[in-house]
Amino acid sequence: MSFGLFVTPRRSLISSRATTYQDDSDFGTSDHSASPLPDPSTEGPLKIRNKVDCGSVVMTSRFNGKGTLLAVGLSNGDIKVSVSPRRLSCPPPRSPLILLFWFLLQVFHPVDGTFLYQLSDSEILMAALPVTSLQFLDINDKWKDLLLLATYASGHVRLWHVSGKQCLCSIEEGDRQTLSVALSPSGSRFVTSGSDCKLHVYDTETRQLVQTCQGSIALNKMDGHRFRVFAVAFHPDMETEFISGGWDNTVQLWDYKTGNKLSDIPDDHTGHSLIYSCHYLGSEYIVASGSESNMCRVIDKNTMMTSGRFLDLPGGVYSTSVCSSGKQEGLIATSCQSSVYLLERTI
């Protein structure tokens, strides 16, 4: 199986930070002989709240429904999961040995960047392949009952029990690299995307495949994706509708009940972007990001025009996550290289 996860279809320099399956193009355009890059900045009703260094390349990030937790998936296969300190049921233990173990469970708090919790196992350590997408299953408000769906470049989909740090089940998607996962509003279905252009829809309870959305074999019709699909996200109010984005420079709207594509979302006027991530921001806006332009943009769903941008990043934007409710509602987590930027809207 080939694991050329981010082999960008254009020429670029090779970074000293690159691994065997990544090159400098993975992190966006780069010219080491050019003048220093400007600092990341925002346009429109966006501002940077915080920046957190995660110690390794961040491939994906995800808030839970209340915004009290944020999970980050790294290029080495590790998952770091966040929990607000006020949610902890007890203070750190006093025993030195137990205290050491407690701190090895690295948990990232979305406001101050404190690390405390980590999810991994021997199989993941052996494979040493990236986590590509994350999705919380919010059963209730108790973080001890929280489940987390994770996809990997190995083609696996895993369901983790967060507080128990246990993998409850694993789905193998064949020879493809699985790159993204999204959960329907009711939680009854989840969809995955990957390197083979197909969108697989599963029953959450049984984990059985119930639908595959894909384009036809006719090359003169753009009725589906033609390159790897890095991003999927369900409409927050429409159970059967979801969007997908990938390296064919398109963001597409689908209905999994019929398996058909409904429409396309136009490109940004500043040029193409190899899409890695897209999410709904409420019911009126869409957040999309990519690597060609190294930016994240907020799109008005009614006009399909860009209303705000986060740009001048040092590399491609692998992932975004939007907090959909709670005190952090509207907070956007955006990852670039080994950092997570937290953005908030100013209107």
Instruction: Look at the domain 39-78+129-345 and name its fold.
Output: Methylamine Dehydrogenase; Chain H (2.130.10)
Most distant CA pair in the chain: distance in Å? Answer: 67
Return the domain boundaries, the chain.
39-78+129-345
| pLDDT computed for residue 290 by the predictor | 75
> Which of 233-242, 249-258, 269-278 shows the lowest per-residue confidence on average (mean pLDDT)?
269-278
Mean pLDDT on 201-216: 87
Rounded mean pLDDT of the chain? 76
Task: Assess whether pLDDT exceeds 80 at residue 3.
Answer: no
Say what the pLDDT of residue 58 is. Answer: 93
Selection from 182, 132, 130 nearest residue 322 by Cα: 182
Report the side by side order of strands in the sheet with 296-300. Answer: 41-43, 306-311, 296-300, 285-290, 275-281
pLDDT at 274: 65
Q: How confident is the model at residue 79 (pLDDT cuts 50, 70, 90)?
A: very high
Most confident of 137-151, 266-280, 288-302: 288-302
b (16+ CB within 10 A) / e for 302-320: eeeebbbbbbebbbbbbbb
> What is the pLDDT, as a whole number, of residue 151?
94
Span 13-20, average pLDDT: 29
Least confident range from 146-150, 183-187, 235-239: namely 235-239
